[in-house]
Structure 1
């Protein structure tokens, strides 16, 4: 094992690191590079994005990766391991920041992700990406944002995005069916909504939605199985295209950290995401 990987494994065993520290330590995939940093897709520091690309010119299909953090934390700079992993597999990868609680509440963080999609539609060809083949991938709260963009059609429409460009959506350990609000994170983010049903992705299941891949770890104590199975059942009842997979022994964070090079033994997250994205963008 590489010395740096040994140090990372010891670090993880000894403490619970911040994601920034993890990202700084973890070895990144070769065959990819960051080609743009802190690009504005809207006003303010939180509406900026980074772009990662394969080393060859393309055009390549595109992944927009939306990180989690209970809608109240997160920074795109902590996810270069994910950007490099996806770009090394042949996807131009966009990682946006978005505004967070308490600065904003629902639906502003979803609106921001829709605005990042508009930037991607309009500009990703400048970085070797194909704007006609976009896949959304999100983890946790980011999976919520991604699935809402895929299912509730008004977000992309209002942002001026052609929804047919979204070929598929992947949710990693996302909350999709979580009424009543029973934790501070959801009460703070959604409690002021006028119609609570409209905060739930499961409410928008439809036959003509882009294909969905829903992944969840069976050791996840943050987002329960109701979210996975509820949306899967609603999509099937509506006649939609959905696939759901569960990973034994994998928790809420493992499923996302498994995108990194040394932790892929924990879950086949990257393999499953890439296979799905390749299929829907073929």
Structure 2
């Protein structure tokens, strides 16, 4: 499987991120080709606006899980998430793995706008592979978790893309980056990269944070993080959960015991992992 970047990507920020990338791309090579229905489909004119579809033969009207890869909105490939496809398809869902425009060439909200654009495309086309574009479930890891949450919460962006917000049936972000604001980032830190690499203007840090969009939420949001995740991820997800609890839709938050930021995605190599049970339960409760 070719993992050559569509554009040059900056070096990954630390060794753990590189080990994670090496692992998930190696796992992608073991993909069951029998469930890959389409690859490198375009949902926009940019070469990074592409997605892959996985489904079982004979599917009709199946719920759809869209899972965005992580990488800090500067790195990453849709192949990061391929290893999950078989476990998801076995549970009767169509699985969609997208990529999106990355910073610094495309600063936020490019990735969030791409998420809405993709969902509009899927609503029109996913029936080709047996999916129901009115039953969309969103997830992702790390920056992908933040993208999934923003896709669920930005109602006007969905409507502009031709997606009635009610078609988003649930969101399950994993170790999502939910809050970009930092009052005084340390030099050369990941927090400083938000301001130097991701944002057009420093004052947009709250605007580009999912935690700022929770008011009136109608999408069931079942977030999770690792017990050994970063303090920023744990704190932001906890604060966001406290806000979501007071909105109309259900909200949940789960800490995975003993796991760090990358483990919370790698854990899904186990097709029997409890996260998939959370997904199944949410689909059973909310699917049309």
Band the TM-score falls in, shorter-chain normalisation: 0.7 to 0.9
1:273 to partner: Cα distance? 2.7
The Cα of 1:236 is off from its aligned counterpart by 1.5
For 1:77-226, list aligned pairs within 5 A: 77-180=79-182, 182=185, 183-187=191-195, 188-190=197-199, 192=201, 194-221=203-230, 223-226=232-235
Unpaired runs of 5+ in structure 1? 1-14
Partners of 1:63 and 1:257 in 2: CA distance: 18
Matched, 1:251 2:260: yes
Instruction: Give the drift of 1:229.
Output: 1.0
| Aligned counterpart, 1:71 | 73
Identify the residue that residue 12 of structure 1 maps to in structure 2. none
Task: Give 1:8's aligned residue.
Answer: none
Q: State the SS of the aligned residue for 1:132.
A: strand
Superposition deviation, residue 101 in structure 1? 0.8
Q: Distance in 2 between matches of 1:71 and 1:91?
A: 26
What is the deviation of 1:132?
Answer: 1.3
Cα deviation digits, residues 235-254 of structure 1 (max 9, x gap): 12334420111111011111
* Change in CA separation of 1:30 and 1:43 when aligned onto 2, cut-off 3 Å: closer
Aligned partner of 1:269 among 275, 280, 284: 275
For residues 249 and 21 of structure 1, do their structure 2 counterparts lie closer, same or farther at Cα, with a shift above 3 Å needed?
closer
Determine helix, strand or coil for the equivalent of 2:206: helix
Secondary structure of the residue aligned to 1:231 is helix
SS in 1 for 2:72: coil
Per mean C-alpha deviation after superposition, the further-off stretch among 267-276 and 74-83 is 267-276
Residue number in structure 1 paired with 2:237: 228
Structure 2 unaligned segments of length 5 or more: list them: 1-16, 186-190
**Normalised by the size of structure 1, how large is the TM-score?**
0.85
Question: Using a 3 Å threshold, how does the CA distance of structure 1 residues 275 and 46 change in structure 2: closer, same or farther?
Answer: same
Equivalent residue number for residue 278 of structure 1: 284
Q: TM-score, normalised by structure 2?
A: 0.83
Take 1:222 and 1:53, find their aligned partners in 2: how far apart are those partners? 37
Structure 1 match to 2:57: 55
Is contact 1:26–1:261 with CA below 8 Å preserved after alignment? no
CA RMSD of aligned residues (A): 2.5
